[in-house]
């Protein structure tokens, strides 16, 4: 059954065009979100290529950036970022091997591994942070972040994030 058939069963006839338009807008938003994420990874890749640093993938560089100055477990890092569970473990292993991340077993729970950036990891984090700051400055100067104000957009994204989290939490 297609989504419009489901909408029709649950919605009064007068509201169908509005619901369909809202649904189409939501689906368009999901596609834009996916493209934005891919473009962000491309921007990171281009920046590192420009700097002659081709040892890291964009996902690894973003993982280093999201790790920041904290010392966390892989699970905590996964919940902060945009990663699949197995990708975090694989990429952390590679980042440790390349010397960007230090890891050690947690004293309280020997099954858990804590990770933090090395000095070389801090350099990578700063490269990504500088790239993002440069883009934020360019967007701000162009006025793109003003209409609607980015604070409003972020509030909306957080509401969608909560909705999705609740959908996952209450699925079982």
pLDDT tens-digit profile, the chain (172 residues): 455 454 445 555 655 676 778 888 999 999 999 999 999 999 999 999 999 999 999 999 999 998 988 888 877 877 776 566 668 888 989 999 999 999 887 676 666 778 999 999 999 999 999 999 999 999 999 999 898 999 999 999 999 989 988 888 877 6
> Which CATH class for the 55-169 domain?
mainly alpha
Per the CB < 8 A criterion, the answer to whether 73 and 102 are in contact is no
The pLDDT of residue 79 is 74
The model's pTM: 0.79
Question: How is the chain split into domains, by residue range?
Answer: 1-50, 55-169
The pair of structure tokens assigned to 7 is 């909408």
Q: Do the beta carbons of residue 67 and residue 83 sit within 8 Å?
A: no
- Tokens in use for 61? 């560089």
């Amino acid at each position: 059954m297609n989504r419009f058939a489901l909408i029709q069963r649950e919605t009064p006839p007068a509201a169908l065009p509005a619901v369909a338009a809202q649904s189409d807008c939501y689906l368009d938003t999901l596609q834009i979100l996916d493209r934005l994420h891919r473009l962000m990874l491309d921007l990171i890749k281009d920046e590192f290529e420009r700097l002659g640093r081709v040892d890291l993938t964009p996902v690894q560089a973003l993982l280093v950036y999201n790790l920041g100055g904290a010392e966390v477990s892989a699970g905590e890092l996964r919940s902060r970022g945009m990663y699949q569970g197995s990708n975090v473990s694989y990429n952390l292993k590679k980042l440790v091997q390349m010397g960007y991340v230090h890891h050690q077993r947690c004293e309280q729970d020997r099954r858990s591994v804590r990770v933090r950036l090395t000095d070389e990891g801090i350099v990578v984090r700063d490269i990504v942070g500088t790239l993002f700051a440069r883009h934020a400055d360019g967007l701000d100067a162009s006025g793109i972040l003003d209409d609607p104000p980015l604070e409003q957009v972020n509030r909306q994204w957080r509401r969608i994030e909560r909705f999705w989290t609740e959908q996952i939490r209450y699925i079982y």
